[in-house]
Structure 1
C-alpha cells in the first residue's frame, strides 16, 4: 500500500523467523478473553448495530488497563498486557472485567462465557473491508467461518516462547508440548455443545468449527523441534485471505499464497504490513506472535471461570517439574494425532466430541491438573487461584466431566430461559437432575 516499503520473499521469511519467536527466560503471562454479549432475560434477542455503538462509546470511556476490542458478531475481547506473574495478570484483568460488567448493566446486557452462542445464529455487526473480505473468503468452505466469526468466544493463554536452548523451558519443548497438550485443554474446558438453538453433537462446537474452515487457515505446521523453519514455511505457503486496499472492497484472490504473491507482485508488491496482517488471518491452535498464543480453549462461565485455564496452562508451561509431568502425561496421546495437522485428526475430534468421557484424555487431564495444583504455590499464585483450580478439578476432571455436560443436563425449556447464566458466582454442583440453576 501507499508509503509501505516493498519486501522480497527472502525478507518475508526472515521476518517470520524473527518476529514470531522471541526467546528468553519465561517471565510474562497474558490472556485474551472473548465474551458473547446477551440480554440476560432474553438471550435469543439479537444485538442491534445501534445498541452496539452506544455500548462501545460507553466502554471507550472506561479506565481499562487492557485493550478492549469488538469481534464481528459483537463479541467483546479484553487482551491483557504482558504481566510479570500469574497473580498480577489475574488481578488486572479481573479489575477490568468488573468495570465492563458494570458499564453493560444500564444497557440491559451482560457478558456470557460460552464457547458458542446457544441461542443466536451468525449475524455480523461490524461492516469493515477486512471483515467483508474475511466473510467472502471463509464462505467458500461453508458456514463454519461465519459461525466462528460471529458466534464463538474463547480463552486464549499467552506465554513466552522460552529459551533458545533445549530443555523443559526451551522453545522446541514448549512448542511440542503446546500441540500435544492442546486436545487435553479442549476436552477439560469444553463449553459449547449448542449453536444457534440446536444441540450439535459436540461438547466443544467451537473446536469443531475451527476444524471445518479452510484447512490451511486453521491447521498447524508440522510439529518438529525446529518451529521457526516449520512456521515460516507454513506462513508463506498458506493462501492470503485478501489484499489490503486503500479504497473499495479488498480483493479476495483464490489460491494465492504469500510466497507466490511475493514472487509475482500480483495485485501489488508485498510489504511487511501485508505479512503482519496475513499472520492475523491464520488460526492454528498454537499461534506464535513473539510469544505462544494457545487458542484452543472455550470461553468459560462465571465471573472468574477464565482464571482456571489460565492458571493451569501457565503452571504446566512455566514450572519445570510440572512441564515434565505434563509432557509424560500427553506423550501416549501422540499415537492418536493421525496424519492430519491440528486441529484436525482423530485426537482433536475425540476431544471436541467426547471431552473427558474419553478415558485417555481423562487420565491425562487428571495428571496435568494435579501437576498444575502442585506448581501453583511455587509460582506464587494466590490461594484463591489455587482453590479455583482445585474446585474445577473436583467438579469436572475427577468425574470425567466438562462444563459442556452441565449444559447438556438441561432440559430444552431450561436452556431457553436460563436464570443465572451470567451470574458472577461459581456454578452449582453437578447433579443428575435437570435443573434450571445448574449454570452460572
Structure 2
C-alpha cells in the first residue's frame, strides 16, 4: 500500500466525531427494495477432496474472474450475472451478487453465476463444497496478504478457532436494506431474533477434518470463539432496542484493532488497543475515516450494518438450496405485520446462538420456534415474487430440514 492510500480520508479528532461517522454510513434508510447474497464455498479436488488446492491451480481455473488478491494483474471480470468472485484466505471461493430489486431476478442471475463458476472449476478438476466447514482438510493458508497475516497473528493470541474460521469455514450472507426510518429498529431486531432458529435449521457444518465435531454448525462455533468483542451480537433481548446506529458505533469503537494499515507488509495491531484508544492517542498518528472504514470491515457480528443489513449467521447450503433461507429472511422482514409476528415468536430464543450452533434442531426450544417462524415465512413467500416452482422447492427444503430435526430429537 502506498503512503497516499494511508493518508486518505478525513482525520478523526474525537470519539464523538467517530461515532457520528459510523452512524451516518452504516444505517442508510429508505424503502427496502434491494436484496443481495454472498455465497461462499470450500474448494476441493474432484477426485481427491483431501488434496490441497494451490493458488496457481485456482488462479488458472478462475481465469479472467480471478480476484486481484490471487492474481494482481487479472481484470477481475464479473460473472455473466454480474456477480464478482473473491477468494478467502483458505482458498474458499465466494460470489458477491449485485443487489437486485426482486428475488426472482436475484435467483435467476445468481443461479447463472453459480453454473458458470462450477463449469470453470469442473474444467480444472475442482468442485465446490456443500457444507459450512471443510469436512476433509485441516486449516491451511492459500491466500496470503498483510491483512490476513495480521488477522492470524491477532487470532492466534486467543487460540486455534481463528485459523479454523479463516481457512476452513464457508457461509451464506444475506444482504437486505435497513428500511425506512420508522422500520429500521424493527428490521434490526427481527434480523437478530430469527437468527438462532434459522441457524439451527440450516446448519450444515458437522464434520471437519474427516471427523464429527459434536456441533451442528462448527463454522458458527469457530466464529463465536475467536473474539467476542468483534463477533458477539450487537443486539440481544436483554437490551432495549434503542438506537441501532448508536449501539453499533459503541460496539465498533470498543472492539480491538485487528490490523493497522501501514506502508509495507506488517499490519500487525498492538494487542488490546481498541479504535477508541486510537482516537485518544494510543498510536503515533491519528486515525482517519478511511481507517475507521477498514476497522468496520474487521468486525464480524451475526448481523452487521453496512448501509444495509448483512446477515452473517448461515452456513453454506447444498447445491441449489441457498434460495430457501434467503427467501425466508426476506419474507420475514418484509412487512410490519410479519415482522411483529416473527419477533413475538422468536424473541424467547433470540440469545441462543451457542445452543443453535451446538445442537441445531436437537434443542427443543429452538425446534419449536423454528417450526413456528418458518411456517410464518412460508406463508409470506407468495409476496416475494418468486415463481411457484421455486416456492414449492423452498417448502420441500424446509420440510426436509424440520423432519431431519424431529428424527434427531427422537
TM-score w.r.t. length of structure 1? 0.84
- How many angstroms does 1:274 deviate by? 0.7
Instruction: Please say if residues 254 and 274 of structure 2, whose CA atoms lie closer than 8 Å, have aligned partners that are also in contact.
Output: yes
1:302-321 matches, cutoff 5 A = 302=319, 304-321=320-337
- How many angstroms does 1:171 deviate by? 1.1
**Counterpart residue number, 2:3:** none
The answer as to 2:389 corresponding to 1:400 is: no
Give distance in 1, aligned partners of 2:404 and 2:117. Answer: 34
The answer as to 2:63 corresponding to 1:57 is: yes
- Partner secondary structure for residue 310 of structure 2: strand
**Counterpart residue number, 2:192:** 179
- How many angstroms does 1:298 deviate by? 0.4
- How many angstroms does 1:372 deviate by? 1.5
Give distance in 2, aligned partners of 1:195 and 1:176. Answer: 32
- How many angstroms does 1:45 deviate by? 0.9
Give distance in 2, aligned partners of 1:56 and 1:246. Answer: 30
- Partner secondary structure for residue 375 of structure 2: helix
1:232-251 matches, cutoff 5 A = 232-251=249-268
* Selected match of 1:75 from 82, 92, 107: 92
* Selected match of 2:22 from 13, 16, 21: 16
Listed as ranges, the gaps of 5+ residues in structure 2 are 1-5, 67-76
**Counterpart residue number, 2:247:** 230
- Partner secondary structure for residue 244 of structure 1: coil
C-alpha RMSD of the superposition: 1.8
**Counterpart residue number, 2:43:** 37
Give distance in 2, aligned partners of 1:125 and 1:211. Answer: 23
Instruction: Please say if residues 39 and 316 of structure 2, whose CA atoms lie closer than 8 Å, have aligned partners that are also in contact.
Output: yes
- Partner secondary structure for residue 199 of structure 2: helix
TM-score w.r.t. length of structure 2? 0.90
**Counterpart residue number, 2:312:** 295
Give distance in 1, aligned partners of 2:96 and 2:394. Answer: 22
Q: Deviations over 1:385-410 (max 9, x none)?
A: 211211012212145259xx7xxxxx
- How many angstroms does 1:267 deviate by? 3.2
* Selected match of 1:110 from 127, 132, 136: 127
**Counterpart residue number, 1:66:** 83
* Selected match of 1:220 from 233, 245, 249: 233
* Selected match of 2:379 from 347, 352, 374: 374
Give distance in 2, aligned partners of 1:89 and 1:368. Answer: 23
**Counterpart residue number, 1:195:** 208
* Selected match of 1:91 from 83, 90, 108: 108
Gap change, CA 1:388 and 1:251, over 3 Å in 2 = same
Instruction: Please say if residues 304 and 311 of structure 2, whose CA atoms lie closer than 8 Å, have aligned partners that are also in contact.
Output: yes
**Counterpart residue number, 1:414:** none
Give distance in 2, aligned partners of 1:386 and 1:274. Answer: 43
**Counterpart residue number, 1:343:** none
Give distance in 2, aligned partners of 1:248 and 1:144. Answer: 24
Q: How many pairs align?
A: 388
